[in-house]
Amino acid sequence: MVPAAKRASLPAALPFWASLALVPLIVAVAHQGGWWLALVPLSTWWLFAILDAAAGLNEENADPATPDAALGAYRLVTLVWFPLQAAVIFYMIWLAQTSGTLGTAEKLGLFFGVGVLSGTIGINYAHELMHQRNRLERTLSDLLLASVLYAHFRSEHLLVHHRYVGTVRDPVTARYNEGFHRFFPRVLRQSLVSAFAAEAAMLARKGLPWWHRSNPFWRYAGLQAGFLALAYAIGGWGGVGLFAFQAFVAIWQLELTNYVEHYGLTRKHLGEGRYEHVRPRHSWNAAHRASNWLLINLQRHSDHHFKPDRRFPLLQTYGPDEAPQLPHGYPVMTAVAMVPPLWRRVMNPRVRAWRRTFYPEVEDWTPYNKGLNPPPR
């Protein structure tokens, strides 16, 4: 039995179910067309940015020893999301291709909204699920990622990003002064290569070739091909194009978030390719209440990298003496990141302050800025 004090109540978990409201919303606006289609991105990014301003910060921490059995009301939202997202994607393809009421611009606007849904929510939930150990959750993660044609993200995230975050070997750690529009194409290329190399290296350690059937890239390819075939069966080549467009929007959302999470933060090089252990200081932290409801505490990213297997309701937040703080939640910060001069004006002084606070002994940051292994200090 789980003690009463350890049980998560449904009212406490309900704010994290806010994402489900997007499903009836996108169906409703799809039938309205026109400017109504803007309601989906407005209801995710800007509504929650406004709510953050009203709700403020949540700096309370749950007991990290709370057992899984007490978290059912929280976990359920991540378990039910895949069938809802898949239904939305393929219903929208059917509607767009058969209704005859949506013009080309409206179709693109609609599937931009679908991509916001599958990126802001779907990939985020896939991220939570891939860190768990049971087969159901990992399978749901694979399905969510395949539905946006980014299935290799699981390998890249677990085998590369978490191991090498804050170092030159992690493609996803945005370098100081690197604008998002340079970061994005670099990451699209490098993360696929690094993910495949990591899986091939694991197989090689077992004496197996990269083409062995246990390489998850075969599963990734099969799932993605299945989704593309279903899109074609429902909507023809136009359906495939709309499916690919929502996938691109979702991937853009993911990598925009990745860019914000680690911009300019590096682990200290200890020599011979070795780095200090990952600590909360190596990820940007944001305790903004409302956007953490929408993003199931993803903004408590400092703790996620410190304790990667910790479920989202138990992620801890930190003060500025332990982790660097974003001035706003992700909805605002990702918008700022799309304008590099504004981003540098907001974030570069914070990176420099972080360096003075945590690494006053490092006098020359040039190698870190250029993505090189610096000499140890």
Q: Determine the pLDDT at residue 201.
A: 97
- Within a domain: 46: yes
Q: Give the count of domains, the chain.
A: 1
**Helix or strand holding residue 270 (H, E):** strand 269-271
Please tell me the distance from the alpha carbon of residue 38 to that of residue 287, in angstroms, as a whole number.
27
What is the phi-psi region of residue 266: left when phi exceeds 0, alpha when psi lies from -120 to 50, beta otherwise? beta
Contact 302, 281 (CB under 8 A): yes
- Within a domain: 376: no
- Within a domain: 3: no
211 alpha carbon, distance to own chain's centre: 29
Nearest CA-CA partner of 156 in 208, 193, 210: 193
Low-confidence ranges of the chain (pLDDT < 70): 1-9, 375-377
- Within a domain: 377: no
Contact 350, 262 (CB under 8 A): no
- Within a domain: 123: yes
Q: Determine the pLDDT at residue 8.
A: 53
- Within a domain: 172: yes
- Within a domain: 103: yes
Q: Determine the pLDDT at residue 375.
A: 64
Q: Determine the pLDDT at residue 12.
A: 87
Question: Which DSSP letter does residue 175 get?
Answer: P
Q: Determine the pLDDT at residue 7.
A: 46
Residue 261 belongs to what domain range?
8-369
Token pair for residue 359? 């690494």
- Within a domain: 268: yes
Three-state DSSP state, 315: coil
Q: Determine the pLDDT at residue 100.
A: 85
Q: Which residues pair with residue 285 across a beta bridge?
A: 325
Q: Determine the pLDDT at residue 272.
A: 84
